[in-house]
Amino acid sequence: QTDDKINSEPKIKKLEPVLLPGEIVVNEVNFVRKCIATDTSQYDLWGKLICSNFKISFITDDPMPLQKFHYKNLLLGEHDVPLTCIEQIVTVNDHKRKQKVLGPNQKLKFNPTELIIYCKDFRVVRFRFDESGPESAKKVCLAIAHYSQPTDLQLLFAFEYVGKKYHNSVSSINGMSSGAGGAAGGGAASGSSQKTPLFESYSDWDREIKRTGASSWRVCSVNEGYMIATCLPEYFVVPSSLADQDLKIFSHSFVGRRMPLWCWSHSNGSALVRMALIKDVLQQRKIDQRICNAITKSHPQRSDVHKSDLDKTLPNIQDVQAAFVKLKHLCVNEPFEETEEKWLSSLESTRWLEYIRTFLKHSAELVYILERKHLSVILQEEEGRDLSCVVASLIQVMLDPHFRTITGFQSLIQKEWVMTGYQFLDRCNHLKRSEKESPLFLLFLDATWQLLEQYPAAFEFSETYLAVLHDSTRISLFGTFLFNSPHQRVKQSTEFAISKNIQLGDEKGLKFPSVWDWSLQFTAKDRTLFHNPLYIGKSTPCVQNGSVKSFKRTKKSYSSTLRGMPPSLKNGVISDPEFLPRRNSLILKLKPEPPEQAESQNSGVEQYFRDWFSTPVDLHGVILPRLSGIHIKLWKLCYFRWVPEAQISSGGAITAFHKASVLVDEVDVLSRMLRQHRGGPLPACFSETDQSRMYFQASGPHAASGTPDFLSSTFPFSPVGSLCRRSISGTPFSKFLSGARIWLSTETLANED
């Protein structure tokens, strides 16, 4: 490996890490070479590798080669990896041809010449220690292994960070500085003044009841102080006919005391409810009956309740995890060229897309029950806090356009994931106790991406937003994705506060920063990349018959376009959307429902789907996923962004996104000018500030001069900093590791040290 010394002598310079409050450097090593994704090592960077209690950081003076844009996370340098994002640590000594996967508190019997970090977000980062002190290299490796695999939740950096903030605030003023309280909205990011409701309070739930028009449902506070169940929120919504006293009694019969929780109500009165299994066999029928009756009573038509047993219809969390591991291997691990040949069959055999499809399909079928059959739906699952989160969220994204806005989507995640006790700590495996890991949240984001891909004008947010949101689950700074339940936050942080002498006053636990306070991670400019330029919001202006109107739709406007010439079937293809009646039109609704007859439910669903797909989409109504094989795609931005070989330079969907953004910006500018001429009121979508909503602007430095050079299919991410798997000093990477599969299982290598 000596021929690698292409670069000049390692620089001797003081390189200082950028640290957050409460962050401390645990160990560091100088003269480290970071390998860069090119064929040669000529672009490799020299610098210092540090391990802190929050991240590993590579500090260098060398500029990042081959990268012409900056999309920077304010919490992390471009070479940094948060400790909670680390999946596996492999140390190598290539002279002795030894390697070892480092667990916590393990010994290392050789001095590593190389450190390879496999990240949960599919990055692979590689450092070489040819010029560094062998002992300090070893120490850093061990420190990384130790600190990335903490034994206790309170050792996660967020505690240290928030503790420091409290201390600082006491010494300065009473109250928190930035990031205080979770209620920081998508405000600055979304251009709307709305804040994301966190559903920690009574009033958030109450507002949601009113927003959906759910009569006969009430907010219940029996769980205040987590008196009934520690995995439920303090406030939740139940049928009005169920008294607190009954709920208290029933709660004992449910797994985890998780009684029925209302999620959402359709405008037709059908409700979406989730609940755990009733474990008490003797009471089962009785309680079940009581619950169903109560839900029926809360339905304006007193309709029956449809129950969906998710454990029986969907893959379980282990299945999903297994699929994800296979997907990860396929996307990251295997030598690129080897996977090319059988790419499609390999991809199919991961079953990832199949599972995405299954979740989407099942959710769409329940949309049919709620929307067409006017029945309330109960999602039933053993504990009711895994598959239910995905299905409840997808149903609401499909049915309610509010959840397709940024603020709405964030409130949905608060409502169906964070507050309802999705076990982020275990499922994200922040503490590396791998048996409970499962990427259900990613599965939900991926399924949402499928809908965004199919209905690009129906969502306020972009795919970058979804990818960045996923990345945020790997940063152990936000309280949002750190805990198994809201109660765990309160309990653990109260303990922590006591141990650190922090005065909580009347606050319930420490207030961790919320992930929805995007200003902690991105500048205002960078946050504009979350905005989908194609989105048609409620008040987005549009041109109709040559005159500009806003998209405000009343029921009246539906009927105006109802009848027209019958469309013809051309070449056996039925498609003439313009002449078809609008979905949700009055006339459709006035027509008698098709007689149910002996028609099996399946054909009813299919009929519903066929009807829906044969009429034009109302982007402010229901959207249903297309489910055939060709319509469920791999989310390339998310899974390929760190693979240099898969990067399309100056190409990818982002180039069209760029064009659309510039155009939207132009339209905004023109609209503002028109307004100034007229002195008229502002359309709601424009903020008072003159700051553009769009990342790419008409008058910016790249104005009208074509596609900027730095765009590529991975934008705003760059695979340059990730490891090149093509070859290392001419040796294919897989062979370099003696043919061992990367992502080595710990057992395989346990006895190799």
Residue 108 sits in the site that holds another protein (CB under 8 A): no
Structure tokens at 484: 């198994």
User: In the set 580, 605, 622, 742, which binds another protein (CB under 8 A)?
Assistant: 580
Minimum CB–partner distance for residue 582 and another protein (Å): 6
- List binders of another protein among 481-540 (CB under 8 A): 534, 536
| Closest to another protein by CB, 372 or 487 | 372
Beta bridge partners of 541: 550
Residue 594 sits in the site that holds another protein (CB under 8 A): yes
Per DSSP, helices labelled H in 379-534 are 387-399, 406-413, 424-427, 440-454, 463-472, 486-499, 524-527
Minimum CB–partner distance for residue 637 and another protein (Å): 12
- List binders of another protein among 317-346 (CB under 8 A): 336, 340-341, 343-344
Minimum CB–partner distance for residue 300 and another protein (Å): 24
Minimum CB–partner distance for residue 410 and another protein (Å): 24
**Contact present, 176 and 511 (Cβ < 8 Å):** yes
Structure tokens at 522: 């991105």
Spatial separation of the C-alpha atoms in residues 118 and 745, rounded to whole Å: 12
User: In the set 652, 716, 719, 721, which binds another protein (CB under 8 A)?
Assistant: 652
- Taking residues 61 to 100 in sequence order and writing x for each that binds another protein by CB under 8 A, - otherwise, the string is ----------------------------------------
**Contact present, 540 and 191 (Cβ < 8 Å):** no
Residue 590 sits in the site that holds another protein (CB under 8 A): no
Per DSSP, helices labelled H in 586-730 are 586-590, 601-613, 636-640, 653-678
Per DSSP, helices labelled H in 213-280 are 244-251
CB atoms near residue 8 (< 10 Å): 7
- Taking residues 698 to 737 in sequence order and writing x for each that binds another protein by CB under 8 A, - otherwise, the string is xx---xx-xx-----x------------------------
Angle, to 10 degrees, between the axis of helix 352-371 and the axis of helix 601-613? Answer: 90
**Contact present, 175 and 169 (Cβ < 8 Å):** yes
Residue 674 sits in the site that holds another protein (CB under 8 A): yes
Task: Map residue 718 onto helix, strand or coil.
Answer: coil
Residue 6 sits in the site that holds another protein (CB under 8 A): no
| Closest to another protein by CB, 318 or 568 | 568
User: In the set 581, 683, 700, 732, which binds another protein (CB under 8 A)?
Assistant: 581
CB atoms near residue 751 (< 10 Å): 7
- Tell me 415's DSSP state: I
Residue 682 sits in the site that holds another protein (CB under 8 A): no
Minimum CB–partner distance for residue 211 and another protein (Å): 23
Task: Map residue 26 onto helix, strand or coil.
Answer: strand
- List binders of another protein among 610-629 (CB under 8 A): 610-611, 614, 616-619, 626, 628
Residue 133 sits in the site that holds another protein (CB under 8 A): no
User: In the set 63, 175, 566, 739, which binds another protein (CB under 8 A)?
Assistant: 566
User: In the set 318, 577, 599, 682, which binds another protein (CB under 8 A)?
Assistant: 577
CB within 8 Å of 557: residues ≥ 6 apart: none
Residue 470 sits in the site that holds another protein (CB under 8 A): no
Sign of the torsion angle spanned by Cα atoms 529, 532, 533, 539: negative
User: In the set 110, 202, 551, 686, which binds another protein (CB under 8 A)?
Assistant: 551
Beta strands in 353-398 (DSSP E): 376-380
Strands 271-275 and 376-380: parallel
Length of the chain: 753
Residue 571 sits in the site that holds another protein (CB under 8 A): yes
User: In the set 670, 729, 731, 738, which binds another protein (CB under 8 A)?
Assistant: 670
